[in-house]
Amino acid sequence: MQQVETDMDRDREPDSLQITGDEKTGQDTDTKEEKAPKTGRRTPKAIIAYTAAIAVLALLIAAFRSNLISIRIGRLYIGRDSGSIGVQSMPKLNQLESALEDFYFDKPDPDTSIESVARAYVDSYGDPYTVYYTPEEFADFMQSSSGVSYGIGVIVGKTDDGALLVSRVISGGPAERAGIEAGDLITEVDGEPVAGEDIQDTVERIKGDEGTDVALTILRNGQTQKIPVTRGQYDIPLVSYRVLDGNIGYLYLAEFDGSAKQQFLDAYRELTQEDAVSSLVIDLRGNPGGLLDVDTDILDELLPDGTIVSVRDKAGHEEVTTGSNPDQIDIPLAVLVNAQTASASELFSAAVQDYKVRVIVGTQTFGKGIAQTIRQFPDGSGIKYTVEKYFTPAGRDIHQVGVMPDIVVETADGGTEDSNPETDTQLAAAIDYLESKS
């Protein structure tokens, strides 16, 4: 996805300027010079200093009248634009700070206060997709978007008695190599009980730097044992696939992040090579979206040559992405969607629908047709913010509208990698359609 850089930090004036010095004489008090005789005429140096002082004073008066500065007890706050939220909020923040400094009985943590102000400022835009991240949150966000994680590779939940239940072990991850199994109950981490602890705090104790060890005490089949696990890198599986009865391929895609492209293409090619399957179901139910370029790269593999997506920014500039891969899917295809199918997965569904060669099955999608970019600041914090709206190959705006399936089928359950055609009404409807096309 195109990274958009704003001019937020370019040519920025200092936020505050402390005015000090010998304002009576205007002289450099560290240097002694022999005074010139009083002749009634100013020296060239004095004329230059006098002119400069008049110019600075004129600029300050003009800025003050234009609300570009505010003065508080000897401090001068300078902003670039009197209409900016930062400039307009400064007097209010100064008033709050003054009142709290004078009367508040405790002393807050400055770092926490600064982070809270930054988060509130971003939240004030009212866009649920524009988000401020602390340095720690930004690092976690970048890691999760990469499709690669560091830790032991398990998915856990809390039981009623306070233990951690391992619901899934990531294939090829450190936990699997150490012998952890789905269904194990983690009761201690490095000898410390997990009962009574918030699940996030326990997970943080299990996670750690690559190459370090964590000792897990687990309960399996009534037997307690300690298993050391060496933390390491592992790929987050975003794709699962299998062949259903009737020679129909089923491919589940969790989201369009990090390694999703390669995982999808590997699964897709294995299912479709040498007529391995006669038709294909792609399940995007519950898929929240992800990276736009991952989405378009996958679509390029499936669609005929032509427009895949167009995006427009605030200024109305448009960028069109077209396919470059001459191949396209040549077997019947059904795409499953529901109300939790959002963003990039909606574009995927709409693009398949626009080319009128495949069918969408399920319920109306979420309705997010805008794209975000990210920016990191020098202290490690960052923001994700909305910069573009995207349009389908046929020019449809799906934001706050969503994609309406060609075949509407209601169901109480969303998609999972283990969807069963016998109980999953949407998957059963897709299979019925594909069998009618065979």
**Distance from C-alpha of 132 to C-alpha of 120, rounded to nearest angstrom:** 9
3-class DSSP state of 188: strand
CA distances for 132 relative to 123, 288, 316, 318, 375, angstroms: 8, 19, 25, 27, 10
Q: Which residue(s) pair with 215 in the sheet?
A: 228
Catalytic: 261? Answer: no
Buried b (16+ CB within 10 A) or exposed e, 143-167: eeeebebbbbbbebeeeeeebbebe
Q: Where are the alpha helices (DSSP H) in 126-259?
A: 135-146, 174-178, 199-206
DSSP per residue over 24-80, as a string? TT-S-TT---PPPP--S---HHHHHHHHHHHHHHHHHHHHHHTTSEEEETTEEEE-S
C-beta of residue 229 within 8 angstroms of C-beta of residue 260: no
* Per annotation, catalytic residue among 184, 354, 381, 424: 354
Catalytic: 171? Answer: no
Could you list the beta-strand ranges (E) of 221-317. Answer: 223-230, 232-235, 239-244, 248-253, 279-283, 307-313
Helix, strand counts (H, E) of the chain: 10, 22
* Per annotation, catalytic residue among 240, 343, 381, 419: 343
* Per annotation, catalytic residue among 368, 381, 384, 419: 368
Catalytic: 343? Answer: yes
Residue 68: closest CA among 50, 58, 59, 80: 80
Pairing assessment for the beta strands 318-322 and 307-313 based on DSSP bridges: antiparallel
Structure tokens at 135: 């340095």
Catalytic residue annotation: 343, 354, 368
